[in-house]
Amino acid sequence: MCGILAVLGSSLPVEELRELVKSCTKKLYHRGPDEEQYFISEDGWCGLGFARLKIVDPEHGVQPMFNDQRTVWSVTNGELYNHEEIRKTELNNMTLHSHSDCEIMIPLYEKYVSSQRYDHDIQYVYNLLRGVFASCLVDLKRGFFMAGRDPIGVRALFYGTSKDGAVWFASEAKAIVDVCDYVTAFIPGTFVKGYRGREQAFSFTRYYEPVYWHDHWMPVSPVDYQLLHDTFVLSCKRRLMSDVPIGVFISGGLDSSLVASVAKRLLDPNYEFHSFACGLEGAPDVAAAQRVADFLGTKHHVLTFTVEEGIQALDQVIYHLETYDVTTVRASTPMYLLSGLCKKYVKVVLSGEGADEIFGGYLYFHNAPNEIAFHQEVVRRVKLLYTADVLRGDRATAAQSLELRVPFLDRDFLDVAMSIHPREKVTSKHRIEKYIIRYAFSKEFCGEEYLPDDILWRQKEQFSDGVGYSWIDGLKAYCEKAVSDADLQNAAQRFPHDTPTTKEAYVYRAIFEKHFGNCKAVQGLRESVARWVPMWSDSTDPSGRAQKVHVAAYSNGGD
């Protein structure tokens, strides 16, 4: 986890650009408090900033990185889990300056990217990578730059443009909203390329385009439980690459518990594996998480917070999230608070994000009218992960200087899971959500007990519910008092774009506007907000309890 910043084509004098790059990078300090480094080209065409959280090769993996001639420079916020394989197979064991996974970007560029076939060659390079990344590379000699983001958008990246013709890239929008006229999210699974003198004349090219990405493609493969099992184990193994301590979030639900169980088996038996859970007093997740920790033998830590403490954190949570989406704010607040405890023990933490999107695990999927609709919604949710759960996971942890890793979103695991016929995933009264991944790790199938049955087959709880049902109830009660009926009725006058329709949404929007409303480029941020709303539901409330199938459903199926 790091913070990157790049600017190409600024008209500022070199020294002014240097100071501006420094001040913008400092806004990413929370993402990388261990070290800050900068590079400004002699002619001022290129400026790079990097805020580092030392994870792999802490002593030598300094960025920005450069080639021996100092003509090619790069900054990468990422974890490239197959970097050792790439060093051997693609780079022929060439000697590099460090053992940092991110250093492979420059030699891959120099070997494969030619001026005759830029698009083809850049696609090839990005498709070699197995990991998560937000990267920018600059070739001073060619007057060329390229930037790319991992397939699902696990690592955050934004881009912006300014009146002087420059283009900016940054890990978070807050670093560049004051210097740009327009800022928005960089599309996952794509890259851009540009040239000196035509910096803003770029378009996005998709390098990640699996068959499931196409609207009318339907998977037909029966589930291969062994392949599903083995690919997920490999994904977890990849994410144990680290030179600093690793821990795991355990909510007590299936996803994070399964990640914890697989990782624990892969680690040395003497490794002190820390696990973390949070919730209100008496929360269902806390009790379930303790059951998992006891079963696995982790060094377990619990954060018990109050509704009032969560409400007090809202201002900082929304500042770091850069969104006012109700679901994201609800779920991010407990995660933000827990990350504050977590960073006392580890720098890297594993989590279970992505499973509900891949397998149709949200309770509203019970209402899917048919298999086609089920699959289409799965694909839509996967494509939007960077606006929701992935955004939450990145920002809530990065705000506390933690690196989050999510095994369910491994590219190879996605290829397997998304090729399975939707009839294998569809839920019913007699088939629990995410059945196939549960069964793949059941004792009945693999002969090993990864989790106790009451955890392996536990019904889905959305994180904002599982930390304690009174968390959402308390938020709503607070917002009900904070916003008058007249304020809500006149909300369109204050918020003409994407007007909030509930008092809770009004409160979050007001906080967002307090932090970003005066920035020149804020409209691009507003336009990038994607509201998390369940399909096929009588209720527009995103809480799992708003779905009638929930064991603790609201009495009327909604609010």
Binding residues for L-glutamine: 101
Q: Sort residue 79 into left (φ over 0), alpha (ψ -120 to 50) or beta.
A: beta
C-alpha distances in angstroms, 44 versus 14, 48, 168, 200? 5, 11, 14, 17
Q: Output the CA–CA distances (angstroms, integers) from residue 459 to 429, 462, 544, in the order listed.
A: 12, 10, 11
Residues of each annotated binding site for ATP: 351-352
Q: Which residues have CB under 8 Å from 411's CB, separation 6+? A: 130, 151, 208
Tell me the sheet residues that pair with 249. Answer: 276
Annotated binding site: 101, 351-352
Q: Where are the alpha helices (DSSP H) in 384-499?
A: 389-398, 411-417, 435-440, 443-446, 453-456, 463-466, 469-482, 485-489, 491-494
Cα 52 to the center of its chain, rounded Å? 18
The DSSP annotation for 171-183 comes to SSGGGTTTT-SEE
Six token digits for residue 294: 């006891």
Q: Hey, how many other C-beta atoms are within 10 angstroms of the C-beta on 118?
A: 17
Residue 2 catalytic?
Answer: yes
The single residue of 2, 102, 180, 519 carrying the catalytic annotation is: 2
The SS3 call for residue 313 is helix
Residue carrying the six token digits 């069964």: 439
3-state SS, residue 52: strand
> What does the alpha-carbon distance between residue 382 and residue 92 come to, in Å, rounded to a whole number?
35
Cis bond before residue 64 (omega within 30° of 0): yes
DSSP, collapsed to helix, strand or coil, labels residue 17 as helix
Angle separating helix axes 389-398 and 307-321, nearest 10 degrees: 100
**Edge-to-edge strand list for the sheet holding 35-40:** 35-40, 46-52, 2-8, 167-170, 158-161, 182-185
Q: Which has the closest alpha carbon to 251: 299, 297, 303? A: 303
**Nearest residue to 131 (alpha-carbon basis) of 403, 407, 355, 381:** 407
> Tokens for 20?
């501006």
Active site residues: 2
